[in-house]
Amino acid sequence: MEKTLDFSDLLRLIDERSTAFRAAIAAAPDLDAQVPTCPEWTLLDLVQHLGEGRRAWAATVAAGPDAVAKAECEDAPPAPRERQAMLDWLAASTQELLDALREAGPDRGCWTWWGASQSPRTCGAVARHQLQQIAVHTYDAQLTVGTPQPLPDEVALDGIEEFLFTCNATPSPWPHKPTTIDYHATEGRSWRLTVDGDGARSTRIPAPTARGALEAAGLSVSGKAGELVLALYDRIGLESLEVSGDREIFDQLIAWEPEE
């Protein structure tokens, strides 16, 4: 059974993806450009979201396990418009998050927006989710400036499971016919998401060539891990992936808003 990323790896990759995000911003000819994958945002909006969000999560981690809500950062400085000052502000935002996570450690409790999911409410789980948020928004920024890069393999492989365990998992009843969705990364890992009257939950499963008598899924999606992550985050469509089964299930999943 493959392990999830160690806490030290999560922090290293948060730093690396944040550096890649800043590189895209540094190269952007126009910060008022619309972000294709977040059409309601400009590139400047994306900068503000990433920087302010990391500062808020840094404060939330620092608040400790007794916090009952995400921290507000009303006194945090807004993103400057001057390019170098903006890059410095972004770097400082990342550093605040990394410092708070290192100080807390992976096992300390932390307020999270996910409740009854398959992810714990710990600083380690926060770091795991933050990595994916930063990685996907780095892709958004790179796409906007015309230089999209694949998600790094170790980020993407962890990202599929992180999304399924954190964003999909819920005890809220599935409002459609019960079914399963299998995700197969060509790098050799697979997961099954089950949705029914008991909610949504995921498990790791053998790769397609070793599944044996495992019941066929209602929908099976295969591709590179990075492509699967981008599809889960609604950045790309299923046309980029190998799909068998009922495609409508995926559309239903993307549109689903469980009631917690």
Residues 6+ apart with CB under 8 A from 125: 110, 112, 119, 166
pLDDT in tens, 137-190: 999 999 999 999 999 999 999 999 999 999 999 999 999 999 999 999 999 999
Instruction: Give the integer Cα–Cα distance in Å for 239 and 217.
Output: 19
Which SS3 state, helix, strand or coil, does residue 18 take? helix
Count of C-beta atoms within a 10 Å radius of residue 77: 13
The pTM assigned to this predicted structure is: 0.94
């299930």: which residue's tokens?
Answer: 249
CA 246 to chain centre: 25
pLDDT in tens, 111-142: 999 988 999 999 999 999 999 999 999 999 99
Burial of 170 (0-12, 13-18, 19+ CB in 10 A): buried
pLDDT at 182: 97
CA distances from 237 to 15, 157, 219, 221, 247 (A): 28, 19, 14, 11, 11
pLDDT at 210: 54
